[in-house]
Structure 1
Amino acid sequence: MIFFDKFKKHFEKKSDFFLLVSFILLVLALVNPSIPVNQSIYNYILIADISQSMNTEDMKINQKTVSRLDYTKHIMSRLVEDFPCGTKVSIGMFAGVSVSATYSPIEVCENFSNINTTISKLDWRVTWSGNTRIRESVINLARLIRSFPESAQVVYFTDGEEAPKLHVFNTRDLDQFQGGNDWLFVGIGSDEGAPIPKYDNKNQLIGYWSNDSFALQPGIAQISESNIGVRDNKVASGATDRYMSKLDSEYLEKLAKEIGGFYVDGQSYRAVRKEMKKQPPAWKAPDQFYLQPILCFLALLFFIARFISKTNITSLIRKIT
């Protein structure tokens, strides 16, 4: 009996200790202490190639054949849906040698509707150049990102088609280029190839681009690099003289490697999302991790433990005695 009395007194003191700890934790929760942490900031610029080769219809959405540009818009919309709140996104367009951003990166949840509206309105008719100089564009893209108030990671959707074709006179040396680390190039298009449709300004089909439209003019390169192989306005008269456009994944892989980025085939949305998760955050910012929720939770556990334990142990002692 003496043993059980001592045990009971010891347990009652222990229960009071639980209550004391619970009280101390609640007081600390009111103070709301914090610890310094680095918060990862995820900002993206999603760039759509809007040159005319992106009108080529060799992609599929739900078994329906669509253009490369429409497929790009579809992927972009899915990405915006999957981004967690706090992520910031800008939508960009590429044509010629330039990349243009519609706005600086904005938060996805607050601006979800506006971002999707921007994506839906991407159109080849806003192009400012008939040529496609992807290699040249990376320099202008790096310059564009430096103008943002916050840095952003690049996801570049393109078929990899340089028009005019690259040769010794118009191939930019990127050995000294800095700024392309961890950029992601997403290949849009098929390996089989398809003709590039030619539309008028009302988006009505008037024919297909001919092989002659992509003829090189190396002699001009010696005079003015900006005029190399300017695409002419010829339209193919039949199926045999149509220019067949294909996804140039080999070129995009090489380009990505040159600037420190990487490449993924855009046929699979999951593959694109997986590669994007490998991209490091655009930057890290100092932040504070507040401990109030954790302290309140611990206080609740000690408070519950005090009453549950006291009830069970007291009942057990009574049964034994």
Structure 2
Amino acid sequence: MPFLSRLKPYLHRDVLLPAIALLLLGIAAFKPTIPVPRNIYSTMLVIDISQSMNTKGMIWRGEDISRLEYTKHLAHDLVASMPCGSRVSLAFFAGLSVATLYTPIEVCENYAAIQDTIAHVEWRQAWAGNSRLREGMDSLSRLLRTMPEPTQAIFFTDGEEAPHLHAFNTLNLANLQTGSEWLLVGIGSKQPQPIPKFDENNKLLGYWSAENFVLQPGIAQISQQNLGTRDKGTATTENDRYLSIMDEEYLIKLSEEISANYVNGDNPEAVKSAMNHMKPSRRDFAPMDIDWILALIAGGLLLASYTPQRLKKLLKRILHRKMIH
């Protein structure tokens, strides 16, 4: 055919392959996606913001930071590792309850907003000072039942119960509905550290004493439990300071009691692995970026356009020069 005969000079591989590669690169520039079946995760990140989380002793990239700051770094990394289509909610634990900031939202479309929210988490957002972890578990269970879809919970805490548990204040969690979709992440050093005490301007006043921690544990600036008052007392000597540790033994026992999973937060990769083994909310189609695939194909086509003919010519030239010399 006359038309094909005119195109024949342009159908040579030296012209055709680079042309296809250029076309694929042009398509890749628009960042195309294709729908692929994936496990869709809906995850609520619950962060303990009680005052014991201000305790230092956590190491992040060589820096000694507080438990709360470490949790924020860990949450940043977890969100960054989630594939598009995943949904994330952020919630706080303080006093007796868990409160969510928003229902789970898609991670890629709202990535900047989610990370910005995590970056601004601080202890002054607490609405109560005490840290009643068992009551918090019951509150979380009720909160998750209000979510629009099945949602997993990742709970970051040091396991500090304040006031300490005894026979009369230990809530029975036998009927708590959780299951394998809960993950408790232990945050904190096993080396005893004093709990800093700040004022409403985040200025360090001193450290919690053993006495006032027992009598009025973790008092926040505004709390229904302290009738609007605030204990300003601090430890008078280093020996008087209340020393806090991450209570891993209690967290393991608590996770077994509510049929949840536990992981030590010291290892971020272990936390990611535990998160990836959680039960998905559902299986659905989610977009997958294919621009990198198109770019790889384009690169392969460009290489193919130079081989084997160009390679043969290059080898002939090399051999010819060796024979001359």
TM-score, normalization by structure 2? 0.70
Residues in 1 aligned to 2:89 and 2:205: alpha-carbon distance in whole angstroms = 33
Contact 1:182-1:279 within 8 A present in 2 as well: yes
CA-to-aligned-CA distance 1:224-248 (integer Å, 9 cap, x gap): xx89xx9955310110000001000
Q: Is the 8 A contact 1:182 1:260 kept in 2?
A: no
CA contact (8 A) 1:56 1:194 kept: yes
Give 2:64's aligned residue: 65
Question: Which residue does 1:193 correspond to in 2?
Answer: 192
Rounded Cα–Cα distance in structure 2 between residues aligned with 1:188 and 1:231: 27
Deviations 1:48-99 (A, max 9, x none): 1000000001101111000000000000001111111001001111001111
1:89-137 per-position Cα deviation (integer Å, ceiling 9, x unaligned) = 0111100111111100001110000000110111100111110011111
Aligned twin of 1:155? 154
The one-letter code matched in structure 2 to 1:143 is R
CA distance in 2, matches of 1:207, 1:216: 17
* 1:121 matched residue in structure 2: 120
Deviations 1:242-283 (CA, angstroms, capped at 9, x unpaired): 000100000000110111101111001001011112211123
What one-letter code is carried by the residue in structure 2 that aligns with 1:194? Q
CA distance in 1, matches of 2:131, 2:230: 10
Identity over the aligned pairs, expressed in percent? 49
| Structure 1: distance between partners of 2:166 and 2:230 | 15
Q: 1:133 to 1:180 in 2, by over 3 A?
A: farther
In the TM superposition, residue 177 of structure 1 has moved relative to its aligned partner by 1.5
Instruction: Indicate the SS of the match to 1:147.
Output: coil
Change beyond 3 A, Cα 1:72–1:52: same
How far residue 39 of structure 1 moved from its aligned partner, in angstroms, is 5.5
Letter in 2 for 1:56: T
- Conserved in 2, the CA contact under 8 Å of 1:187 and 1:263? yes
Rg larger in structure: 1
Contact kept, 8 Å, 1:97 with 1:136, in 2: the verdict is yes
Q: Runs of 4+ in structure 1 displaced over 3 angstroms? A: 230-233
Q: Secondary structure at the match of 1:92?
A: strand
Q: Which residue of 2 is the match for residue 99 of structure 1?
A: 98
Report the AA paired with residue 188 of structure 1. Answer: I
Aligned to 1:112: 111
Do the aligned residues in 2 keep the contact of 1:108 with 1:115 (CA within 8 Å)? yes
Partner of 1:34: none
Query: Is the counterpart of residue 265 in structure 1 residue 269 in structure 2?
Result: no
Letter in 1 for 2:132: R
Q: Which residue of 1 aligns with 2:245?
A: 246
Amino acid at match of 1:137: G
Counting matched residue pairs gives 242
Q: Give the secondary structure class of the aligned counterpart of 2:73.
A: helix
Distance in 2, Cα, partners of 1:152 & 1:146: 9
Post-superposition Cα deviations, 1:150-204, rounded to whole Å, max 9, x if no partner, equal 1210100000000000000000111121134331100000111200000111111
The residue type paired with residue 233 of structure 2 is K
How many angstroms apart in 2 are the aligned matches of 1:43 and 1:177? 20
Within-5 A mapping of 1:1-321 = 40-215=39-214, 233-284=232-283
Shift in alpha-carbon separation, 1:231–1:132, aligned structure 2, 3 A: farther
Equivalent residue of 2:44, what SS? strand
> What is the TM-score normalised by the length of structure 1?
0.71
| TM-fit CA distance, 1:40 | 2.8
Please state how far the C-alpha of 1:41 moved relative to its aligned partner: 2.1
CA contact (8 A) 2:178 2:260 kept: no
Contact 1:58 1:190 in 2 (8 A): yes
Residue 168 of structure 2 aligns to which amino acid in structure 1? F
Please give the alpha-carbon distance, in whole angstroms, between the structure 1 residues aligned to 2:215 and 2:254.
21
Secondary structure at 2:47's aligned position in 1? strand
Q: What is the rounded CA distance, in whole Å, between the counterparts of 1:253 and 1:167 in structure 2? A: 18
C-alpha separation between the residues in 1 aligned to 2:51 and 2:179? Answer: 25
Separation in structure 1 between the aligned mates of residue 107 and residue 100 of structure 2, nearest angstrom: 16
Gaps of 5+ in 2: 1-35, 217-224, 287-325
Amino acid at match of 2:280: P
Secondary structure, aligned partner of 2:116: helix
Q: Distance in 2 between matches of 1:210 and 1:231?
A: 15
